[in-house]
């Protein structure tokens, strides 16, 4: 059993949240809410504008060097003047997207389309891919690898979406890398969504797409939810029109990625799919072949490589972990000594960064939330669901009673 959430280390996510403020403001002034920018006399509009200003003030400290933030502040001042709104007065939180599943047409709901196929849809399966830590990769084929893959690499690239990650060196004197940027492009899908781009970096884990919106297409076929988590800051993206769920976490200074997609949206053939880490794993020359629980040597980096443009100067290892210390640290959050536990120990030995233990924990939580599985075919009206809830003895007793009853009816006739 894992320790209670309250006993896990608290994740500190100090980052610029201006995209979140922008998204909430757009949502609160959208036509569906009845608030229009061309209605300056609308009291609700002024309330939304004051809420927008309050949101930007709360994130001011972490947004000092952000151009989007300064642009928003300037725009807010203009809107107060244009719409004759007072900066004093009631404020309310801008309309946030509901965490419940919004209504969506069958065309833009993958599960509904598959269930409509009847028996032909019963074999449909979901596949899981995850990338975390040093980095460790779990492919759609359920292969587990540890790779170097420094720089920009494609995880997925098909007709529905593209995912690219950028991995950077972690500490001075080590070959360890971790993910500093994740870009997800949802390609246009006729009748369901236009193209949407989501990008997370070490400086910002936005709860909105790059255009400031939190949803796309018709009836919630694509939407974003921000959630709290003991394993780090977390954003979940639901693309229901292709049956896909994505979780992006920030753990310390780095990011983790997890996705679940239907197998029939993937092309596993080597010829047509190109380089996609989630499909085919890492190239051989990028593999770290073993999960060793012994001390990993620190590989000297080339002269001039002591810094990188995204994270600034590389730091020396936080601590020097022995196998015993690393194992004890990982046991604080991971009780079962599986590949995730081994990854945690591996990362502590190679980086000396205790935050990496939470990366493995978060990846395991994402696997539980987005497991590889068959499409759910259960229905409350299906007798099989009720039978599955009784034990073999109770089922045999019920069967015997039914046979006895039928024999009695026949005897009476």
Render each residue's pLDDT in the chain as its tens digit; 413 residues. Answer: 444 443 444 444 556 778 778 877 887 776 543 343 344 344 478 888 888 888 888 888 778 778 888 888 998 998 888 888 888 878 764 444 444 444 556 789 998 888 888 777 777 899 999 999 989 999 999 999 999 899 999 999 999 999 999 999 887 767 788 999 999 999 999 889 999 999 999 888 988 899 888 888 766 799 998 776 555 689 999 999 999 999 999 988 899 999 999 999 998 776 656 789 999 999 999 998 654 434 444 333 333 444 454 544 555 556 788 999 999 999 998 989 999 999 999 999 888 888 888 999 999 999 999 999 887 654 333 333 333 333 433 334 433 443 344 334 344 44
If asked whether residues 267 and 352 sit together in one domain, one would say: yes
If asked whether residues 324 and 180 sit together in one domain, one would say: yes
d(CA 32, CA 34): 5
If asked whether residues 345 and 239 sit together in one domain, one would say: yes
In the numeric block, which tokens belong to residue 404?
């006895």
In a domain, 114, yes or no: no
Closest CA to 326 of 307, 290, 354: 354
Helix axes 323-331, 339-351, angle to 10 degrees: 130
In a domain, 282, yes or no: yes
Task: Provide the whole-model pTM.
Answer: 0.68
Q: Reduced to 3 states, what is the DSSP secondary structure of residue 60?
A: coil
Closest CA to 165 of 150, 149, 181: 181
If asked whether residues 51 and 183 sit together in one domain, one would say: no
d(CA 222, CA 262): 16
If asked whether residues 231 and 337 sit together in one domain, one would say: yes
If asked whether residues 130 and 79 sit together in one domain, one would say: no
d(CA 134, CA 291): 11
Q: Reduced to 3 states, what is the DSSP secondary structure of residue 123?
A: coil
If asked whether residues 53 and 148 sit together in one domain, one would say: no
In a domain, 223, yes or no: yes
If asked whether residues 58 and 190 sit together in one domain, one would say: no
Quick one: DSSP state of residue 399? H
Domain with 250 in it: 126-293+319-373
User: Are the C-beta atoms of residues 276 and 330 closer than 8 Å to each other?
Assistant: no
User: Are the C-beta atoms of residues 159 and 398 closer than 8 Å to each other?
Assistant: no
d(CA 273, CA 267): 6
Helix axes 339-351, 356-369, angle to 10 degrees: 160
In a domain, 215, yes or no: yes
If asked whether residues 245 and 326 sit together in one domain, one would say: yes
In a domain, 394, yes or no: no
Total domains in the fold of the chain = 2
pLDDT of residue 30: 66
For 116, other C-beta atoms within 10 Å of its C-beta total 11
pLDDT of residue 305: 40
**Residues whose CB is less than 8 angstroms from the CB of residue 309 and which lie 6 or more positions away in sequence, other chains included:** none
If asked whether residues 244 and 132 sit together in one domain, one would say: yes
- C-alpha of 224 from chain center: 10
d(CA 396, CA 175): 61
If asked whether residues 246 and 146 sit together in one domain, one would say: yes
In a domain, 300, yes or no: no
In a domain, 163, yes or no: yes
* CATH code, 237: 3.40.1000.10
Which helix (H) or strand (E) element contains residue 74? helix 67-82
In a domain, 6, yes or no: no
d(CA 284, CA 2): 35
d(CA 198, CA 141): 25
d(CA 331, CA 323): 12
């Amino acid at each position: 059993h894992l320790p209670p959430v309250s006993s896990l280390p608290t994740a500190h996510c100090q980052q610029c949240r201006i995209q979140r403020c922008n998204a909430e403001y757009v949502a609160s002034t959208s036509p569906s809410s009845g608030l229009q920018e061309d209605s300056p006399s609308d009291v609700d509009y002024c309330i939304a504008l004051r809420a927008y200003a309050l949101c930007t003030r709360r994130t001011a400290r972490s947004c000092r060097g952000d151009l989007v933030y300064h642009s928003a502040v300037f725009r807010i001042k203009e809107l107060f003047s244009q719409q004759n709104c007072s900066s004093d007065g009631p404020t309310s939180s801008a309309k946030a997207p509901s965490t419940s599943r919004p209504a969506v047409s069958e065309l833009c709901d993958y599960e509904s389309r598959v269930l409509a196929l009847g028996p032909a849809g019963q074999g449909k399966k979901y596949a899981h891919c995850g990338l975390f830590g040093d980095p460790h990769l779990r492919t759609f084929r359920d292969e587990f690898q540890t790779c170097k893959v420094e720089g920009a690499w494609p995880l997925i690239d098909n007709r529905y979406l593209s995912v690219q990650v950028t991995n950077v060196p972690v500490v001075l004197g080590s070959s360890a890398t971790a993910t500093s940027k994740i870009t997800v492009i949802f390609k246009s899908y006729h009748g369901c969504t236009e193209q949407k781009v989501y990008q997370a970096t070490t400086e910002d884990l936005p709860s909105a797409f790059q255009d400031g919106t939190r949803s796309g297409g018709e009836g919630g076929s694509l939407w974003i939810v921000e959630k709290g988590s003991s394993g780090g800051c977390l954003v979940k993206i639901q693309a229901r029109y292709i049956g896909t769920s994505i979780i992006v976490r920030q753990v310390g200074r780095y990011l983790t990625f997890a996705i679940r997609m239907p197998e029939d949206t993937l092309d596993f053939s080597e010829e047509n799919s190109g380089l996609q880490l989630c499909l085919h794993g890492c190239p051989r020359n990028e593999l770290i072949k073993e999960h060793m629980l012994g001390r990993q040597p620190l590989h000297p980096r080339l002269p001039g490589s002591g810094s990188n443009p995204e994270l600034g100067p590389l730091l020396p290892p936080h601590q020097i972990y022995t196998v015993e210390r690393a194992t004890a640290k990982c046991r604080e959050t991971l009780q079962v000594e599986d590949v995730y536990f081994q990854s945690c120990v591996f990362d502590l030995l190679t980086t000396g960064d205790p935050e990496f233990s939470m990366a493995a924990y978060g990846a395991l939580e994402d696997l539980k939330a987005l497991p590889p599985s068959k499409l759910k075919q259960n229905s409350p009206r299906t007798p099989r669901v009720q039978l599955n809830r009784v034990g073999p003895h109770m089922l045999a007793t019920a069967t015997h009673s039914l046979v006895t009853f039928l024999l009695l009816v026949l005897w009476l006739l």
